[in-house]
Structure 1
Amino acid sequence: MQLDHRLFEAHQYALINPLQIDRRIAQLWPCEPIVPKELRGQEHLFPYLLRLGEMSADTRLAALDETVHYAREHDRVPFSALLVSDAGPEHVRNQLARGLVRKVDGERMLFRYYDPRVWSALTWILSTSQLDALLGPVQSWTAPSAKRDIWRTYESRGTGNDGLPLAPGQMHAISSLASINRVIDRLLRVDHGIDDHSVSKQVYDEILSADALGLSDADDQEAFAFVSITQPPGIHEAPMYQEAIRIARLEPGAYRSIVTAALEDDESEPPLKQQDQGVWQHG
């Protein structure tokens, strides 16, 4: 689906990330930040819940047009998500706020599930009941793809419970999202035809394969995933890549250096270690 007036009008709520969209744009809408009780006083970190039903149709569509125009001018997504829910705004806001803080190794962390790229990965990391528990009264969640031109909807089945326990494998996948998203960014830069709905799982599987081969460095694992996806099948059976893996087992970081030279990457290309794009943040 593409974002247009018809799609937008089918939703009662939307999320705007003030770290991505100017607060002036957020203030076009009746809204308030979704802030967990543990982090009150840090409203600037959190998405705003837009109450779409409180606006007249003309005012709502005018605000939509201005928001979309701003997003295009600044190369951003206009909304983090569009929500369908019969519940009142306080109920929706409180439910979403409760999901924002999770304990990880005994430490409270901000769980950025509202980020579209995190959400896309969560649809394969979490079970249906876990996703439904996260959404609570939200009946559907529609979010943009990495290319921002396609919006996908998750329909809640209402089967979730109050808890969201995560298995070790799920925790590992979630903790790997920063690496996954760096690889996706690199795929986008080379205009590789990707579908982020499925490619994040493919990237994660390749990162696991790299780890199983003894590549312990994150840069090496990310480079391995990039090569596996962009090069012909079986590329890592080639002698040069086998040798790169052997060297990198002894000298972490060597694999990326070797394959970068072999693929004749542009010397001006930014390194894979960019800004954090993972799901966990310290609260």
Structure 2
Amino acid sequence: MYPTHMQADVLLLKMLAEAHAEALIGYVLVDMSISSSTQRFVLNLHDQKRTRSLFQATPEGGFVHIAPHLIAWNDLTATERDYLIALDQHTPALSWLWVDTDGTRTLYRHLKAQLDMQLPDGGLALLRYYDPSVWQRLMHLLTPEQITTLMGPVHYWGIRLNDQQKFFNRQGRLACLN
């Protein structure tokens, strides 16, 4: 059984309150390749046209079942929000993103644009930044300018690693929450 919203991670609840206080708009980016639980839940929302696959209109477009999906927090019911919060506590497959009003217009396009990484030989590779374990590594590998580019319109980016919620600010540093 999944816990209710009030039993969620304290740091996540603080971040939700902080984002509300800053008038930021929340999104959840789900890596569908990590868990069948995320697949079932998100594909149900996708069938209702309530998610956007980042693989849409790409060569990987046929892999919607393992694609990263972007979900607007405000488009979810309280029960769906509780489910995602609970899922996050058991499955490291979610990223929590907060943007301002301008960022809502550019977030999806920005995230799609970050999928391709140019290799030294000129080839392209898929950059799995939407996988929380990859995100953690990227924060140690990328230059400050690269982190700013990856973050784009995102004010805060949250992930769960090793049973701990972590939130990064636009500079890729751990955010300090009151």
TM-score (norm. length: structure 1):
0.46
Q: Aligned equivalents of 1:111 and 1:25: distance in 2?
A: 24
- Name the amino acid aligned to 1:130: Q
Task: Give the structure 2 partner of residue 63 of structure 1.
Answer: 80
Higher strand share: 2
Task: Give the structure 2 partner of residue 93 of structure 1.
Answer: 108
- Name the amino acid aligned to 1:136: G
Structure 1 vs Structure 2: percent identity of aligned residues? 24
Larger radius of gyration, structure 1 or 2? 1
Task: Give the structure 1 partner of residue 95 of structure 2.
Answer: 81
- Name the amino acid aligned to 1:110: L
**Residues 15-94 of structure 1: matches in 2 within 5 Å?**
15-19=29-33, 20=35, 21-26=37-42, 27-28=44-45, 30-35=50-55, 37-55=58-76, 59=77, 61-70=78-87, 75-77=90-92, 79-86=93-100, 87-94=102-109
Q: Which runs of 5+ in 1 are unaligned?
A: 159-196, 198-283
- Name the amino acid aligned to 1:119: W
8 Å Cα contact 2:27/2:72 also seen in 1 = yes
Task: Give the structure 1 partner of residue 148 of structure 2.
Answer: 132
8 Å Cα contact 2:30/2:130 also seen in 1 = no
1:131-155 Cα offsets, whole Å, 9 max, x none, are 110121111211112x12x111211
1:154-184 Cα offsets, whole Å, 9 max, x none, are 11159xxxxxxxxxxxxxxxxxxxxxxxxxx
* Greater relative CO (CA pairs within 8 A, separation 6+): 2
Q: Aligned equivalents of 1:132 and 1:22: distance in 2?
A: 28
How far is 1:64 from its partner? 2.5
Task: Give the structure 2 partner of residue 181 of structure 1.
Answer: none
SS at match of 1:45: coil
Task: Give the structure 1 partner of residue 22 of structure 2.
Answer: none
State how many pairs are aligned: 150
**Residues 146-225 of structure 1: matches in 2 within 5 Å?**
147-148=162-163, 150-157=164-171
SS at match of 2:65: helix
Q: CA RMSD in A?
A: 2.9
1:117 matched to 2:133: yes
Structure 1 pair 4/106, CA: closer, same or farther in 2 (3 Å)? closer
Q: Aligned equivalents of 2:133 and 2:62: distance in 1?
A: 26
- Return structure 1 stretches of 4+ with deviation > 6 angstroms: none
SS at match of 2:62: coil
TM-score (norm. length: structure 2):
0.70
Structure 1 pair 28/67, CA: closer, same or farther in 2 (3 Å)? farther
Higher helix share: 1
Task: Give the structure 2 partner of residue 14 of structure 1.
Answer: 28
